[in-house]
Structure 1
């Protein structure tokens, strides 16, 4: 059951390559992009919390998360394709994703009325899935990104919830979160199994 938007990564990177090359010429480093991305997530989460009564702000969520995915792709592309990997960059990248997801997802799910237990479970399992993906490197020397509820899939889910919330409200959202939680459990299982099998 390894289905994930992450599998579109290569095509997405190809689209971003012209931007990547311009950033390299401007001497923008991967670590700078990573730190800026984390700060943008925290600021945007604050805006969502502060202005959640203005429903129009929810239509900006998919745009922001798409921008975040682009920035996440760009820092990795500059690091890998232009030989700018650093040891600190690994920590920035992994910790930055966890901080960004935790802050933004928790705030967003809270303001749209998701129950606290479902919110916390979703955030916790999201963090655990990334931790498992990193830990897998100690087993088969490979970072694991298996789905069906990987980082890109979670961003898509949150974007979808934001659009639905704007048009029709949060009816059945807790059931959707329960499904997402189940898919996160499958994601963790898939990453562990694939690592143990050396996949």
Structure 2
């Protein structure tokens, strides 16, 4: 099932020159991964500290775009510039789930947002990533199946942030949006798990 992740090759092609410049400057893929994590933590802190303000929410799409770019760049540096490592692989997977939690959980502090539902969306999102990394443990590939992977989740929360940041009051529309994100996330967990098992069985 198609997801925003399918656009990654084209996105990486645009970022290859920048990745090469960073390598020449002496930076490592792990340093780029750490920068993306720090950016996510900072953005989440802004929302948590000022849950009633609009400006932190309007920064979310920019933060998500930069994070996505950094994630693509660290992958290019690791795979194409000889910086691949076991430590980097672990850091990459852990930083993704920590970044998601740090960025999205503070939305629950916004007045009139359905906090329990939002937390559930984040938790199932983390389970989605776990379902993806289980593949290699059973002899399959790392699964990125949709319909609601990391990039799609970022788009969903980015859109939510923009609408709230522009002044739309939370209400039934935010609850319906979160419910849709939850349903898509649950289906993604199922899809990734089933495809990993099918691949492992050959």
5 Å matches for 1:19-168? 19-111=18-110, 113-167=112-166, 168=168
Whether contact under 8 Å (2:147, 2:188) holds in the other structure is yes
Give the drift of 1:108. Answer: 2.5
Tell me whether 1:13 sits opposite 2:8 in the alignment.
no
Whether contact under 8 Å (1:38, 1:100) holds in the other structure is yes
The CA RMSD over aligned residues, in Å, is 1.5
Which protein, 1 or 2, shows the higher relative CO under an 8 Å CA cutoff with sep ≥ 6? 1
Whether contact under 8 Å (2:43, 2:56) holds in the other structure is no
Which residue matches 1:174?
175
Task: Work out the CA distance in 2 between the residues paired with 1:23 and 1:108.
Answer: 33
Runs of 4+ residues over 6 Å off in structure 1: none
Task: Work out the CA distance in 2 between the residues paired with 1:80 and 1:114.
Answer: 41
Q: Gaps (5+ residues) in structure 1?
A: none
Give the drift of 1:174. Answer: 1.0
Instruction: Give secondary structure in 1 for the equivalent of 2:83.
Output: coil
TM-score normalised to the size of structure 2?
0.92
Q: Gaps (5+ residues) in structure 2?
A: none
TM-score normalised to the size of structure 1?
0.94
Give the drift of 1:112. Answer: 5.7
